[in-house]
Structure 1
Amino acid sequence: MTKKYFGTDGIRGLVNSSKINGDMFFKFGLASGTYFKTQKKKKQIAIIAKDTRLSGYTLEPALVSGLTSAGMHVYTLGPLPTNGLAMLTKVMKANMGIMITASHNPYHDNGLKLFGPDGLKLSDKIEKKIETLIDKKISNSLSKPKALGRVKRLESANDDYIKILKKNFPKNFNLKGLRIVIDCANGAAYKAGPELLKSLGAKVFSIGVEPNGININKNCGSTFPSKIKLAVKKYKAHIGISLDGDADRIIMCDESGMIIDGDQIIAALAIRWKRKKMLKGGVIGTLMSNYGLEKFFRAQNIKFLRSDVGDRFVKEKMKKNNFNLGGEQSGHIILGKYATTGDGLLVALEVLFSLRKGKKASNFFDTFKKTPQILENIEVKDKTIINKIDIKKSVKSSEKLIKGYGRILVRSSGTESKIRVMGESENIKLLQKCLKTIIKKIK
């Protein structure tokens, strides 16, 4: 289903470009408000959170104007992790929740992630209906003057989110004696992250907690994990936690400075959940999940299925197969027992709950041997070049060459102007030869 505005994870792009500007955000607000106010509720409510990008000050008022023009009453929550918004959408019984963020992208990008009243990201079908409304004549969706929505700022959102997270664990759960480094990427969790860990008694060393509007994800956070690696060694911490701009991703670091990616976190949690009889069905990974993870789950008799890349697709497949654990190598991990979308802080708590009895992080994460993986992201002006005949031929011939020794995946990014070329094999020389051919052809 081809969509005009929505990508694999909401709407995203360069600020003040064709999609990401005040005019379009008014239209997004008006269209989504018009669609969701059809729900039979006494009061039509939308809640909005955001990360720390400078452009949020421009885009949020436009979005609010569109929603109130559609007759929605709006609560603005300020900077808050994405899953905090999803959770509060359910708790507040709102029609919808909107997160203004471009996730792990640089500050000059921004976008939207939309959630329905169930706290789930919207389906392709609903996104398509909203797109139809976006392109309709504005006057058709405007409310009568008496039916316009009101706006209120909610200051307690971070505290409310922290309370919800802590309710998922026993009352006596604490982190006393643990030294923890947390990198909040100068993003949405810069308040909630350190406050949550400190409230549980941990000694916390915080980095990436001084947002200035343009330093979000800059040389910090889950896409720059070397920062926590150095900090863990410097402060002799037991573990490091690295989040992205909207805190729905997590990359970790053990006490020795070893970086732990999403696949390794998922493997460790799956083994623990299986032992505790908490694992339901199996685990959902993606096309990017390491082949070593697949082999490991096969050996552990844990069912493993792959979805398309994107935590929305992971969640859809989890729901379809009735699984309660899934995620991506990049750190989007969904704990279906507790959440509807990725949540870095929730995953961190689940890991820390396992370490509270003195177990070392290195031992907890020592689960499987990763198959060597090479990933190259190629910036392009037009992602559709991936469909050119000569590029397809190059990919097909490389796949044929490596068959039986590994696998190759070439795909366009759903959130950036990039083509991602990934390969896995124990035969590194053969893998490099195959990928070099494809990359050269794309460039």
Structure 2
Amino acid sequence: EIHSALNPAFGGINPEPIGDNLAEAESILKDNKCKLAICLDGDGDRIALLGENGNYISAHHIYAIVLWYLATRKKMKGKVVKSVNLSSIVDKICSKYNLELITTPVGFKYIAEEILKGGVIIGGEESGGLWAGGDLPERDGMLIGLKLLEMICSTGMTVNQILEEIYNEFGYFVFDRIDYEIDLRQMESLKALLEKGIHDILKKAGARKVISIDGYKYIMEDGSWVMIRPSGTEAVVRIYTEGENDRKVKYLQELGKKVVNSVF
């Protein structure tokens, strides 16, 4: 266990469980030949992992791993809840195992509302907050960590081996998010533009569907997607992208930037 001492400054490290903040955990994992590192944020509600090779495993992948375990090994049935900006790998797993999928706006409070209705087996959001049972309808990194340990012990597989099985069945995927700063005066113009439908830039690139639950998520012909979500409080537009490789993700990001820049 590391960073367990009471320290309100978190040792000068941003307590967000993302790859850039986990160098020490990666070093200890490799030195001790550990199978898994469970990494939580300062209040324990968000989670990330490091696999046995020291590879960073994001919330999207963790959600897929836990959902795969609940569906294939625990044989659980029920509702699956995800925020709209979470990976579409969840949709594919739900389709395969006949699980009802509910997609919500960004923010765990919307997921909690569905949990309180009953029948939910897992819920989660892009930022790393996941829920998979428990007494409180709240994201719980510690409980998800315990679920993962249970999974490793019961299956005899590492998280990387499970990920490989998921990739083989549902396809490899890469996700990224960038915060794109714009002039706040242009924000309303951008929102008005996005409300008109699929932009010509995206149509020419193969966008066939738009989901406007919270922001604007454009689904491409090959299943990849780019989501443009203007902030309601900052001069920032968040651009989320998912594709089969890094090159595709970068391409989608550039498309998103072009759409945003078209209002200038």
Is structure 2 residue 142 aligned with structure 1 residue 324?
no
Residue 199 (structure 2) aligns with: 396
Distance 2:179 2:98 in 1: 34
Distance 1:229 1:372 in 2: 21
**TM-score using structure 2 length:** 0.73
Contact 1:281/1:321, CA 8 A, preserved across alignment:
no
Change in 2 beyond 3 A, CA 1:230/1:381: farther
Contact 1:262/1:330, CA 8 A, preserved across alignment:
yes
SS at structure 2 position matched to 1:206: coil
Unaligned runs of 5+ in 1: 1-204
SS at structure 1 position matched to 2:93: helix
Unaligned runs of 5+ in 2: 208-220
Residue 207 (structure 1) aligns with: 3
Is structure 2 residue 137 aligned with structure 1 residue 340?
yes
- Find 1:436's aligned residue among 257, 261, 264: 257
Residue 359 (structure 1) aligns with: 157
SS at structure 2 position matched to 1:283: strand
Residue 98 (structure 2) aligns with: 301
Which deviations, in whole Å up to 9, do the C-alpha atoms of 1:376-433 show, x marking residues without a partner?
1124574981553675379723442331233221113478663211233447275244
Change in 2 beyond 3 A, CA 1:310/1:416: farther
Change in 2 beyond 3 A, CA 1:383/1:305: farther
SS at structure 1 position matched to 2:39: strand
What is the one-letter code of the residue matched to 1:423? T
- Structure having the higher Rg: 1
Contact 2:240/2:253, CA 8 A, preserved across alignment:
no
Which deviations, in whole Å up to 9, do the C-alpha atoms of 1:333-367 show, x marking residues without a partner?
01234431001111111111222355323224442
SS at structure 2 position matched to 1:340: coil
Contact 1:247/1:343, CA 8 A, preserved across alignment:
yes
**TM-score using structure 1 length:** 0.46
Residue 409 (structure 1) aligns with: 227
Distance 1:413 1:276 in 2: 40
Residue 237 (structure 2) aligns with: 419
Contact 2:13/2:21, CA 8 A, preserved across alignment:
no
Which deviations, in whole Å up to 9, do the C-alpha atoms of 1:304-328 show, x marking residues without a partner?
2311111111122334463121102
Contact 1:412/1:420, CA 8 A, preserved across alignment:
yes
Distance 1:415 1:234 in 2: 44
Distance 1:389 1:416 in 2: 14
Which deviations, in whole Å up to 9, do the C-alpha atoms of 1:45-101 show, x marking residues without a partner?
xxxxxxxxxxxxxxxxxxxxxxxxxxxxxxxxxxxxxxxxxxxxxxxxxxxxxxxxx
Contact 1:283/1:303, CA 8 A, preserved across alignment:
yes
Is structure 2 residue 29 aligned with structure 1 residue 218?
no
Q: CA RMSD in A?
A: 3.3
Which deviations, in whole Å up to 9, do the C-alpha atoms of 1:121-175 show, x marking residues without a partner?
xxxxxxxxxxxxxxxxxxxxxxxxxxxxxxxxxxxxxxxxxxxxxxxxxxxxxxx
% of aligned pairs identical?
A: 22
Change in 2 beyond 3 A, CA 1:216/1:422: farther
| 1:140-155 aligned within 5 A | none
The aligned length equals 238
